[in-house]
A and B are shown apart, each in its own frame.
Chain A
Amino acid sequence: ETGVTQTPRHLVMGMTNKKSLKCEQHLGHNAMYWYKQSAKKPLELMFVYSLEERVENNSVPSRFSPECPNSSHLFLHLHTLQPEDSALYLCASSQKGAADTQYFGPGTRLTVL
């Protein structure tokens, strides 16, 4: 256990559904991240929340919407997804300004039908 939990672990949804992924870190970190891992591709950073600053990858479609209500929780809201959005979605946290080691959760395996 890395101290970063993600729910659900598996999710199957249709293209018209709305769902949310949840991430919680118990490490006292001040930065949280969403990554997408597709088959045969490198991990792709989607969003960063760090000390109230939000950074996003400009290539991420608007059907993905992050929310970070506090430093321990991070959500990824999903709506009208496409089959190519099927992937493993990983959450990570780190202590900004320290060694920068990122700690990853187990991921949510998303399948879009």
Chain B
Amino acid sequence: KQEVTQIPAALSVPEGENLVLNCSFTDSAIYNLQWFRQDPGKGLTSLLLIQSSQREQTSGRLNASLDKSSGRSTLYIAASQPGDSATYLCAVNPISSGSARQLTFGSGTQLTVLP
């Protein structure tokens, strides 16, 4: 059974700092990996999706990497801002889910960027 772990569970940094969020998964047989952002009491916003054949994806100040063989992904946030404060969720799309495309989520990292 695929399991997804995110470390740390919570992180507090001063504004302007670069930071890395970590995600690990137990089964490397995945279609893709996706990073989401969730603001308190709200739904999820997709940030980046990395297909299994890709090594990284970039969007603005965000860069996500994928090392499928070791079951790891990182989300790098450059020059953090208070508006980046949210919970960041990692999810994998395991091949074992077949055509249903079921995502398996980690518990998230709660990020606070202090002004």
Mask for B78-115, Cβ within 8 A of A = 1, else 0? 00000000000101010000011111111110000000
Q: Shortest Cβ distance from B92 into chain A, in angstroms?
A: 11
Q: Shortest Cβ distance from B97 into chain A, in angstroms?
A: 8
- Determine if A100 and B31 form an interchain contact, defined as CB atoms under 8 angstroms apart: yes
For residue B43, CB closer than 8 A to chain A, the reply is yes
**Interface residues in chain A, defined as those with a beta carbon under 8 Å from any beta carbon in chain B:** 2, 4, 6, 31, 40-43, 45, 48, 50, 53, 55, 88, 90, 92, 94, 96, 99-107, 109
Taking a contact as CB atoms closer than 8 A, the residue among B4, B46, B105 that contacts A103 in the complex is B46
Taking a contact as CB atoms closer than 8 A, the residue among A4, A43, A48 that contacts B101 in the complex is A48
- Determine if B102 and A100 form an interchain contact, defined as CB atoms under 8 angstroms apart: no
Mask for B46-58, Cβ within 8 A of A = 1, else 0? 1001010000000
Which residue on chain A has the smallest CB distance to residue B107?
Answer: A42
